[in-house]
Amino acid sequence: MNVVVIGAGLGGLAAAAHLRRDGHEVRILERGLLPGGRAGMIERDGFRLDNGPTVLTMPELLEDAFTAAGATMSQYVTIKPVDPMYRAVYADGSTLMVRHGREAMTAEIDRFAGPVEAEAFGRFADWLAKLYRAEIDTFIDANFDSVLDLVKPWRAGLELVRLGGFSKLDKKVASFFSDERLQQIFSFQAMYAGLAPYQALSIYAVITYMDSIQGVFVPEGGMHQMADGLARAVTDAGVRIDYDATVTRILRTASGAVSGVELASGDRVRADAVVCNPDLPVAYRTLLGGVDAPRAARRGRYSPSCLLWVAGVRGLPPADAAHHNIHFGADWDGSFKALIKDGVRMPDPSILVTLHSLDDASLAPDGCTSLYVLEPTPNLSGRIDWSRERDRIMGDLRRRVGELGYPVDVVTEEVYDPLDWEAQGMERGTPFALAHTFRQTGPFRPNNVDKRVPGLVFTGSSTLPGVGVPMVLVSGKLAAERVRDYARQTSVVRW
C-alpha cells in the first residue's frame, strides 16, 4: 500500500518504521523543519535546548521502533541511564535522591526514612512489576474495537482486581509507605496522566514502574536525538520524509474512504491509507471537514497544561543538583485542587528543573547551563487569562528558580504557555492531551480508527494507549497494525 503519515512526531516515526517493515511505501509529510514534533530542539548562541519531553523511560520501546526499521538503536543514538533519576526537594528542606537500581534505591530510602520504609520499597517494587505484567500486553499494547474487548483478557483483568488496580492510587501507595514524602515521590506520576493521585486509579502506577523501577534514561546530545535518530533510520529504510510540508486536508472518496492528502501548496498526494499524528481533536476539526470528533475528544476532561521555560544561562547549577530536580510545594492536595478543580495556579507550585547540560557538556558553552523549567498550570478551560498574566507568572517562576540556587543570567530563552501550546495545534492548550480518567482510557479513549473514514488511522497521545513517550511509541506500532488489517480487508496490492 501507499501510506502517507501526517507528522514526524515520535508516533508518526514509530508508525513509519513498522509500516515499512510490513512492506508498505511510506511518505511522511511534516510541517516543521525538524523531526520530533513536540520533541523538538532549539539551537542558538551555542546552546542546544530541548523543548519537549524531558524524561525517557522504557528505552526498549524505542529500540523496538529502530528494529522495525531494520536497524539497531545504537547505530543512530546512544542512550545512557540517569542516576540519580530525580532529586526530590521537599518543603521541609529534606532531599531524596531517586536512585537507578532497586538495591541503590533501597539504601537511599533507608538513609532518608529508615529501615521500615526501605523494606516497604521492596514490596512496592514487586507489586508494581506484577501490575505492569498484567497490563502491558492486554491493556496497553493492544488495539480495542469495543468495550467488550476489556472482558476478553479476563485473567489479566482478574489479576488487576486482585492487585488492587482499581483502588485509588494515593491510598494504595500509602498502604506501602507511611512517610508522606515517599507517598509524593511515588504518586506524582499521576500528573503525567492528567490526574491528581487521589483521583487516579492504581492501574496508573504503571507509570511509576516505568520510571522509578525500570529507570530514567537520556540520549547523548539531548532528548531530540531519539527523534532525529529514528528519522534517519526510517529514511535509510526507504521512507521519504518531506519537511515544510503542511497538510491542510485529508482527501476522501465518495464512499468516505481516504484517498490522499492536500498540502498548503495546493499539491495533492495520493494514498491508500493515512496515518495522522497531529492532536486528534484538532485533526478532526481542521483536516476532516464534516466529520465530528468522538464525544470524548469534544467534551472530555483534558489534562492540565504547563508553563515551560527553556533557557541557556551563564553560570553553573548548585553542587548538589541532579539531572532532574523536583521541588515540591507545601500544600500537596491543595495544589491539585487548585490546578484541576478550580482552574487556577497552584498556591505553592511544585516545579521540575531539568539540567540536560549537567551530564552532557556539548549542550551548553563552557561555564554555562541549559535550563528546562516546568510548572504545571491549568489548561485553557481554567481561569487564568494568559494574555494578561503570562509576564507576571513567568516573573514569579524566574525568581523562584533563582532563589533555589540555579543560575538565571539568561543568554537565550523561550517560554511556552497554554496559548502557545494551542497555537502549536494542541487542544485546550495542553501538550498532555485527554486526562486518563477510567472513561477516557482503553476502549473509552478516542479510537485510532473511525468507521466513517476507512483507511484513516491515528497515532499519538490523544488516542490509544495514551500520554508519554513510551505510550506514543506503542501508538505508532498499533497504528501500523491497523493499516495491516485494512490492507487485508481491502485486498489492496502492496507495492
Among candidates 486, 481, 440, which has minimal Cα distance to 463?
440
Cell of 493: 496490492
CA distance readout (Å), 446 to 38, 144, 296, 332, 393: 20, 10, 6, 31, 34
CA distance readout (Å), 485 to 19, 256, 488, 489: 12, 18, 5, 6
Residue 278: pLDDT band with limits 50, 70, 90: very high
- Sketch the domain layout of the chain as residue ranges: 2-37+225-296+436-490, 101-210, 303-427
pLDDT value of residue 156? 85
Q: Evaluate the CA torsion angle 124, 129, 131, 136 in order and state its sign.
A: positive
Q: Convert the pLDDT of each residue in 160-181 to its tens digit.
A: 999 999 999 999 999 999 999 9
pLDDT value of residue 146? 86
Going across the sheet that includes 456-458, the strands are 240-242, 25-29, 2-6, 273-276, 456-458
Phi then psi for 110, rounded to 5 degrees? -60, -45
pLDDT value of residue 492? 47
pLDDT value of residue 495? 40
Q: Convert the pLDDT of each residue in 201-232 to its tens digit.
A: 999 999 999 999 999 999 999 999 999 999 99
pLDDT value of residue 357? 98
Specify the higher pLDDT residue, 138 or 148.
138
pLDDT value of residue 493? 42
CATH of 2-37+225-296+436-490, one of 3.40.430.10, 3.40.640.10, 3.50.50.60, 3.60.40.10: 3.50.50.60
Average pLDDT across the chain, whole number: 96
Q: How many CB atoms lie within 10 A of CB 177?
A: 22
Cell of 401: 528558580
Q: Convert the pLDDT of each residue in 390-408 to its tens digit.
A: 999 999 999 999 999 999 9
| Gap between the Cα atoms of 294 and 233, Å rounded | 34
Cell of 479: 497504528
User: pLDDT at residue 381 above 70?
Assistant: yes
Q: Running DSSP on this structure, what letter comes out for residue 420? A: H
Q: What percent of the chain has pLDDT over 90?
A: 95
User: pLDDT at residue 18 above 50?
Assistant: yes
What residue type is 95 in one-letter code? T
Q: Convert the pLDDT of each residue in 314-331 to its tens digit.
A: 999 999 999 999 999 999
Three-class HEC string of 336-399: HHHHHHHCCCCCCCCEEEECHHHHCHHHCCCCEEEEEEEEEECCCCCCCCHHHHHHHHHHHHHH
CATH 3.30.519 fits 303-427, yes or no: yes
User: pLDDT at residue 134 above 70?
Assistant: yes
Q: Convert the pLDDT of each residue in 405-440 to its tens digit.
A: 999 999 999 999 999 999 999 999 999 999 999 999
Q: Running DSSP on this structure, what letter comes out for residue 68? A: H
Q: What percent of the chain has pLDDT over 70?
A: 99
Residue 154: pLDDT band with limits 50, 70, 90: confident
Beta partners for residue 176, in sequence order: none
pLDDT value of residue 494? 42
Q: Convert the pLDDT of each residue in 51-95 to its tens digit.
A: 999 999 999 999 999 999 999 999 999 999 999 999 999 999 999
SS3 296: helix
> DSSP letters along 242-257, please?
ESS--EEEEEE-TTS-
Cell of 460: 499519538
Q: What is the mean pLDDT of residues 86-115?
A: 97
